[in-house]
Amino acid sequence: MKLAMIGFGQAGGKIVDKFLEYDERTGSNIVRSAVAVNTAKADLMGLERVPEENRVLIGQARVKGHGVGADNELGAEIAEEDIDEIQGAVDNIPVHEVDAFMIVAGLGGGTGSGGSPVLAKHLKRIYTEPVYGLGVLPGSDEGGIYTLNAARSFQTFVREVDNLLVFDNDAWRKTGESVESGYEQINDEIVTRFGILFGAGEVESHGEVAESVVDSSEIINTLASGGVSTVGYAAEEVEAQSSNGLLSKITGEGEDSMDSANTTNRITSLVRKAALGRLTLPCEITGAERALLVLSGPPRHLNRKGIERGRKWLEEQTGSMEVRGGDYPVSDSGFVASVILLSGVHNVPRIKELQQVAIEAQDNIDEIRAESEEHLEQLVEDDDDELDPLF
């Protein structure tokens, strides 16, 4: 599936950069065009792969290239004011060649958190292609303001996109790691999952013995449930096939029934692991409206029976009537991976918890503001009001 990716804010830009690296490394061709938008000049300059002409600095009149300092209301205002500048970069995208737009942003900050929903609304008004969001939730250790930003942005962003795919930093952070190296790893995890998912719809048949390749329309139809989505992933190493097929001869891998049974079992077990393991947004999978199962790996390790069983199992687990499935053949891969997209999930305790913490943070902020006005008043005014200010 070909995407026009727009990274909004620092996290968004970095993640889009990573997708470009993934494309280079794997030859996936998911990112047809990449744009980065920011209010901070330094963040835009730090990107490696987004073409320079597609990096848009907005809000120069307001913040002089220094960013909005986690003020997402300001981020939203600036995006509205400078929407024409963003559109200028979007105009470079050959939209007839893309299947969808994808706006990527960290929801806890200011620029991406506030600007993404504004851009989504704008794109939806102008284009007929679907507009998806990839929203990153902050870690719970980041503090009240980030949680409040994320909760407010989440509410707004979901309404403006065709589907919001969510990644929760909190579920993925490791203790004792520097924030930067932590993000490096987390961004790899993000790109692996979404890379396989969106790469699946981009397979051209090079004579691969694919049994039922996932088409980009199946990804689009799964996401058409709207609402919020999460992605599961599990992988297992298999021996890679050498380019001349020698290995398969040596190991005797063939189409005999034993191998086929092993393949089927491996696939069903990978499907379970992906659905029941750590999701990009942890949630209850029961009640997901739609699902898509993608099995990637060397074609001889994929089979229709395994995918069919996995698909049936997912139907039972989710209660959904719309579970699609297919494969994504990658001949030279040393892994078989299962990626599951659960679309239209409803039972997400993490979001309820985020909202609760956000409400508390909002109350505290209001209280502290009121108090500090009072304290300043007490400090500045002399006790018996004997002094007069100059004017």
Query: Can residue 361 be called a binding residue for ligand GDP (CB under 6 A)?
Result: no
Minimum distance from residue 276 beta carbon to ligand GDP (Å): 23
Ligand-binding site membership of 11 (annotated)? yes
Q: How many CB atoms lie within 10 A of CB 316?
A: 10
Minimum distance from residue 177 beta carbon to ligand GDP (Å): 13
Query: Can residue 192 be called a binding residue for ligand GDP (CB under 6 A)?
Result: no
DSSP-assigned beta bridge partners for residue 233: 339
Identity of the residue, 38 or 263, whose beta carbon is nearer to ligand GDP in the bound complex: 38
Distances (CA, A) of 376 to 81, 198, 368: 34, 55, 12
Q: Which of 78, 83, 229, 227 is nearest to 159 (CA)?
A: 227
H or E stretch at 75: helix 72-81
Ligand-binding site membership of 163 (annotated)? no
Single out the residue of 7, 59, 112, 310 in contact with ligand GDP (rule: CB under 6 A).
112
Ligand-binding site membership of 70 (annotated)? no
Instruction: Look up residue 192 and give its amino acid.
Output: T
Identity of the residue, 226 or 282, whose beta carbon is nearer to ligand GDP in the bound complex: 282
Identity of the residue, 145 or 223, whose beta carbon is nearer to ligand GDP in the bound complex: 145
CB 299 within 8 A of CB 329: yes
Binding string, residues 54-73; x marks residues near ligand GDP by CB under 6 A? --------------x-----
Minimum distance from residue 344 beta carbon to ligand GDP (Å): 23
Single out the residue of 136, 166, 196, 341 in contact with ligand GDP (rule: CB under 6 A).
136
Query: Can residue 169 be called a binding residue for ligand GDP (CB under 6 A)?
Result: yes
Strands 290-297 and 335-343, how do they pair? antiparallel
* Residue that is written with structure tokens 């003020």 in the block: 71
Return d(Cα 227, Cα 164) in angstroms, integer: 6
CB 35 within 8 A of CB 89: yes
Query: Can residue 162 be called a binding residue for ligand GDP (CB under 6 A)?
Result: no
Q: What is the CA radius of gyration of the chain?
A: 24
SS3 state of residue 3: strand
Identity of the residue, 152 or 266, whose beta carbon is nearer to ligand GDP in the bound complex: 152
Q: Print the SS3 string covering 25-40.
A: HHCCCCEEEEEEEECE
Return d(Cα 326, Cα 324) in angstroms, integer: 7
Single out the residue of 4, 14, 99, 307 in contact with ligand GDP (rule: CB under 6 A).
14
Minimum distance from residue 153 beta carbon to ligand GDP (Å): 10
Stretch of 26-34, 51-59, 179-187, 236-244 contacting ligand GDP, by CB under 6 A:
179-187
Can you give the binding site for ligand GDP, defined by CB under 6 A?
Answer: 9-11, 14, 68, 106, 108-113, 136, 138, 142, 146, 169, 183, 186-187
Annotated binding site for GTP: 10-14, 110-112, 142, 169, 187
